[in-house]
């Protein structure tokens, strides 16, 4: 059941990414996807293995469901946030980014509710801070990529 719910959430996230207007090229989004995946997995492994603030279930189905969320869903959601950051309207930009943080918190609570993850030393505030840090990192990488593209255009 848990893997079906996580795959459904992941597919909904992928469909949402396909529907939003994108400001980044496909190559930039692929690069950003891999960078976000590496960053997210690194941070999660620090909290899971080193600090033991989050514990993933040892059940095979639940572990696979967690991997689907960590390897696909969260980086795709961060790609959506990076496109939102490049929108020209400040209200739309920050409103959608705040909605992404809220959806990240809801996703974390869903993972806990399904028994995929247990968080004995964790609360909602930490989750919101975690997703805010993910979005700040994604925003910095997006700015880096767009500035690099502008510098390349000036050199050519």
Over the stretch 50-73, which tens digit does the pLDDT of each residue have?
A: 888 899 999 999 999 999 999 999
Alpha carbons 95 and 122: distance in angstroms, whole number: 26
Per-residue model confidence as pLDDT tens digits over 2-55: 999 999 999 999 999 999 999 999 999 999 999 999 999 999 999 988 888 899
Question: Per the structure block, which two tokens stand in for 43?
Answer: 């941070």
Question: Per the structure block, which two tokens stand in for 31?
Answer: 């690069």
| DSSP H or E run through 55 | strand 55-56
What are the φ/ψ torsions at residue 53 (nearest 5 degrees)?
A: -85, -25
Residue predicted with more confidence, 141 or 150: 141
Residue that the structure tokens 């960053």 belong to: 39
pLDDT of residue 156: 65
pLDDT of residue 152: 79
Calculate the CA 82 to chain-centre distance: 10
pTM exceeds 0.85 for this model: yes
Alpha-carbon distances of 31 from 24, 97, 109, 139, 145, rounded to whole Å:
11, 20, 29, 14, 9
């Amino acid at each position: 059941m848990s893997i079906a719910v996580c795959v459904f959430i992941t597919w909904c996230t992928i469909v949402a990414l396909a529907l939003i207007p994108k400001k980044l090229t496909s190559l930039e989004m692929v690069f950003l996807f891999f960078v976000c995946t590496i960053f997210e997995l690194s941070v999660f492994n620090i909290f899971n293995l080193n600090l033991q603030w989050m514990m993933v279930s040892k059940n095979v189905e639940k572990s696979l469901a967690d991997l689907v969320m960590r390897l696909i869903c969260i980086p795709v959601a961060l790609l959506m946030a990076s496109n939102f950051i490049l929108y020209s309207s400040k209200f739309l930009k920050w409103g959608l980014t705040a909605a992404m943080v809220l959806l990240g918190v809801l996703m974390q609570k869903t993972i806990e509710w399904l028994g995929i993850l247990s968080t004995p030393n964790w609360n909602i505030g930490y989750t919101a801070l975690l997703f805010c840090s993910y979005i700040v990192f994604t925003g910095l990488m997006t700015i880096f990529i767009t500035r690099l593209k502008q510098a390349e255009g000036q050199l050519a």
